[in-house]
Structure 1
């Protein structure tokens, strides 16, 4: 059955690819013809799988219908299908085919999780198999889509291999306190007190240690919300959060849609306001969906926005009025490379409107370029929340040896302040400047605030009709040209044509990646001009 499944899948994908290649340029822009083709392929595959499974499982007396065409899990808040959040999803025929097989062995929730994982990892796994190497695979894929800091491995490797990192004792090999070893939580509290600039020392009993922010989102959503309830989140946002909050707790996201319009002298593109929060909350409540909290990312991903203390107080005040929890993701707090921006952590505020409903997360994945280490922390004054999340640390904890190493790293304030952060910021700024200048040379507008690892790029002029289907096709042209980006729909941007470019990479990969981006855009510009000879546009070459 598995072999037959693979043969059928390969055969139909080949047929589809051949037919699409034969279409005219207009038909390739997701016309009715190509959409009908997708539907026909999906129906045929689902019918064949139903037929095969009816014979294969007859003796097992299996009952229950297969998922039908477009088998998706409806998110009532925002009416988004949960399988559409990631840009690298396969064609609908493949999703229907996979769902048909998975639906016979998994629960409904398990089938949704299976679809999530397929959509999430397909192109990333392709990148891992065909990644660029200057000697071994110079024609491989350059990854400018995954938000990782690859600039400071030399600094980190020297520090992590020093003798004080190598220590073993019995307690490190035994079950710890599920919140994390006390010595680590004490160091985390001191670290956050210093770098978040808290007005009073933070307390180790308010710290819970998990293996990364993904686990933190999953744990918090599970312990704060009932299944089917929602968390507000401004868009565009880091799309993987959709998966994080849904997989365990079946919690949904309700979107606060922002746009690029600038309405006044003191406004900026994609600016969040309390008025927009109120409007979104009212809309979700009118649909009968209960909202339990608000997710804020500061600095914001993908915009690089930094919320001022006044804005933070306004957003927290909104949450307090509506008795909402606030999940504050500050994973980029030490990656603000423009010092004039003056970043402020929510933990730096003199007074929190509702400390019992304010929960802060941070990790070493971004600021220390250690996304593979899987170290994240929660700081909350609500001991009920801390205890509930700590209970889930049985499944999301860290080994004692890693906890010891993290404590050693976080207590080395001299190295962090005098060596690592200055050099990291210098390298981030240089990489950011290079990509910014390349974009200006191409006449491409972009949003950039001087924080994080990414630039939010406006490629709307390269879409002839301004649709999300065209956005996907442009993304695939980048991938065909061996450069991986992230497109706006993955972040639930309401305007087709926005892309995120990650610049925190070594110079050779960054230069080659931008060369490939330029090649695609030059070719796409010619396609648009040929299709619309009267179309003219004079975009600003400066950051928006």
Structure 2
């Protein structure tokens, strides 16, 4: 027998389950948000760390609340170096857990009651709904646009309308910056306006910055502002919420929280190591530390501590990753432009939001196109997974080894029954 809450959770999951076809054997996965381009540099560091530092005592339970002290210490230095915080991050500001999803789930559990809601802009990563609803029974209240905002005032107006129309108490909002699935970055003035919006309404601000260090900047294609098929963002440089002066904005830092993980920037989603940063809310920090007490693997802690302990080496690794990501993104943009497919030009992340289905797409034609992709041996993420308001959109991962990326694009051409065949430039990856 299942509990009532589990039955409700399974019913919700069934109603919201993806309608995508099962991947046939040998499918090339371009629907997974993973950075394969950084792995050749990261893997040797992690392997050496485990081989040199794993001790018998590491096979025992981890007893520390929030994470091993050594890991928290080097992680604080990591965040201070790369995120430029206004207030220096200390180990006691951090909580570790098994990835960003786990952090978000326990954070939502800690700040929301059953039936509460969180504002979140669409399109959005489908995992946000799972982490809020499945166990916590907290609703995601979508913030939708009829047209893209061009300034902070328009941007905030959409949040005000979403909050006014909500049918449940709003306890906070989540911002995914850099954005998944758009691959674009919020202007700092927009974030400041949103922080003040939260202060006005006495709600929490949650910043998911899992792609923070995969900010590779503007691509060559984004320079052509005359191309109507390319949506160019308003910002190319990432600014963490940690770097914003909350005191100047008169925003209570106790309601500002940052989620991060090694999954994306370091291509290590299998290590399951995420962080919550909350600098002025010790009660919340302790609550999450208790909830996540036994969840972080000692092996993951050893590997990541070694990775974060040499910031100069890490600078080199990240710079190399950003360069490879930009080249891969430009390769995909070249492919999409050749086939006259509209897309959002990304400046961060490992994927692109592209309208393979065209402007006349419907839910039915999107489903048919997914079947064609599957038959051609390539998996692409449908826009319906991201609560997209418009049919035709798909998310496509480009952070793949060169031969894999090119083969995936060839299979997409087959699925599209393309009359012309794109010829890639020589590999620079």
Instruction: Report the TM-score when normalising by structure 1.
Output: 0.69
For residues 401 and 513 of structure 1, do their structure 2 counterparts lie closer, same or farther at Cα, with a shift above 3 Å needed? closer
Q: Which has the higher contact order (CA 8 A, sep 6+)?
A: 2
Deviation of 1:177 after TM superposition, in Å, equals 1.2
1:182 pairs with 2:69: yes
Deviation of 1:142 after TM superposition, in Å, equals 1.0
Aligned to 1:385: 284
Aligned to 2:224: none
Aligned to 2:173: 294
Kept in 1, the 8 Å contact 2:110–2:288? The answer is: yes
Deviation of 1:459 after TM superposition, in Å, equals 3.1
Kept in 1, the 8 Å contact 2:357–2:365? The answer is: no
Aligned to 2:405: 510
Q: CA–CA distance in 1 between the matches of 2:287 and 2:130?
A: 20
Deviation of 1:243 after TM superposition, in Å, equals 0.6
Kept in 2, the 8 Å contact 1:330–1:362? The answer is: yes
Q: CA–CA distance in 2 between the matches of 1:115 and 1:510?
A: 37
Query: In structure 1, the residue corresponding to 2:104 is in which secondary structure?
Result: helix
Task: Find the partner of 2:40 among 154, 157, 168.
Answer: 154
* Cα distance per residue 1:388-431 (max 9 Å; x no partner): 11121135x2123322322121111011112x112111211111
Deviation of 1:211 after TM superposition, in Å, equals 0.7
Aligned to 2:380: 485
Deviation of 1:477 after TM superposition, in Å, equals 2.2
For residues 455 and 512 of structure 1, do their structure 2 counterparts lie closer, same or farther at Cα, with a shift above 3 Å needed? same
Q: Which moved more, 1:448-457 or 1:313-322?
A: 448-457
* Cα distance per residue 1:27-86 (max 9 Å; x no partner): xxxxxxxxxxxxxxxxxxxxxxxxxxxxxxxxxxxxxxxxxxxxxxxxxxxxxxxxxxxx
For residues 250 and 164 of structure 1, do their structure 2 counterparts lie closer, same or farther at Cα, with a shift above 3 Å needed? closer
Q: Which moved more, 1:337-346 or 1:370-379?
A: 337-346
Deviation of 1:247 after TM superposition, in Å, equals 2.1
Deviation of 1:162 after TM superposition, in Å, equals 2.3
Aligned to 2:93: 206
1:370 pairs with 2:265: no
Deviation of 1:123 after TM superposition, in Å, equals 5.9
Aligned to 1:243: 130
Aligned to 2:7: 111
Kept in 2, the 8 Å contact 1:446–1:456? The answer is: yes
Aligned to 1:421: 318
Deviation of 1:116 after TM superposition, in Å, equals 6.3
Query: In structure 2, the residue corresponding to 1:426 is in which secondary structure?
Result: helix
Q: CA–CA distance in 2 between the matches of 1:326 and 1:485?
A: 31
Which runs of no fewer than 5 residues in structure 2 stay unpaired? 219-234, 421-429
* Cα distance per residue 1:284-306 (max 9 Å; x no partner): 0xx3x111010000101011121
Task: Find the partner of 1:394 among 289, 293, 303.
Answer: 293
Deviation of 1:254 after TM superposition, in Å, equals 0.3
Q: CA–CA distance in 2 between the matches of 1:483 and 1:115?
A: 30
Deviation of 1:107 after TM superposition, in Å, equals 3.3
Query: In structure 2, the residue corresponding to 1:461 is in which secondary structure?
Result: coil
Q: CA–CA distance in 2 between the matches of 1:149 and 1:221?
A: 27
Q: CA–CA distance in 2 between the matches of 1:183 and 1:307?
A: 33
For residues 379 and 256 of structure 1, do their structure 2 counterparts lie closer, same or farther at Cα, with a shift above 3 Å needed? same
Matches within 5 A, 1:322-401: 322-338=201-217, 341-351=236-246, 353-381=251-279, 382-394=281-293, 397-401=295-299
Larger Rg: 1
Q: Which moved more, 1:299-308 or 1:334-343?
A: 334-343
* Cα distance per residue 1:322-380 (max 9 Å; x no partner): 01111110000000111792211110112251210011011000000000000100000
Deviation of 1:310 after TM superposition, in Å, equals 1.1
Query: In structure 2, the residue corresponding to 1:390 is in which secondary structure?
Result: helix
Aligned to 1:432: 329
* Cα distance per residue 1:149-168 (max 9 Å; x no partner): 11232212221122576224
Kept in 1, the 8 Å contact 2:178–2:211? The answer is: yes
Which runs of no fewer than 5 residues in structure 1 stay unpaired? 1-104, 131-139, 526-544
Q: CA–CA distance in 1 between the matches of 2:13 and 2:213?
A: 30
Kept in 2, the 8 Å contact 1:176–1:400? The answer is: no
For residues 167 and 120 of structure 1, do their structure 2 counterparts lie closer, same or farther at Cα, with a shift above 3 Å needed? farther
Q: CA–CA distance in 2 between the matches of 1:450 and 1:208?
A: 29
Q: CA–CA distance in 2 between the matches of 1:446 and 1:203?
A: 40
Q: Which moved more, 1:469-478 or 1:346-355?
A: 469-478
Deviation of 1:524 after TM superposition, in Å, equals 11
Query: In structure 1, the residue corresponding to 2:396 is in which secondary structure?
Result: strand
Query: In structure 2, the residue corresponding to 1:456 is in which secondary structure?
Result: strand
Aligned to 1:231: 118
Q: CA–CA distance in 2 between the matches of 1:295 and 1:456?
A: 20
1:459 pairs with 2:356: yes
Query: In structure 1, the residue corresponding to 2:312 is in which secondary structure?
Result: helix
Q: CA–CA distance in 1 between the matches of 2:379 and 2:419?
A: 16
* Cα distance per residue 1:9-34 (max 9 Å; x no partner): xxxxxxxxxxxxxxxxxxxxxxxxxx
Deviation of 1:112 after TM superposition, in Å, equals 4.2
Matches within 5 A, 1:211-226: 211-226=98-113
Q: CA–CA distance in 2 between the matches of 1:524 and 1:208?
A: 53
RMSD (Å), alpha carbons: 2.5
For residues 521 and 112 of structure 1, do their structure 2 counterparts lie closer, same or farther at Cα, with a shift above 3 Å needed? farther
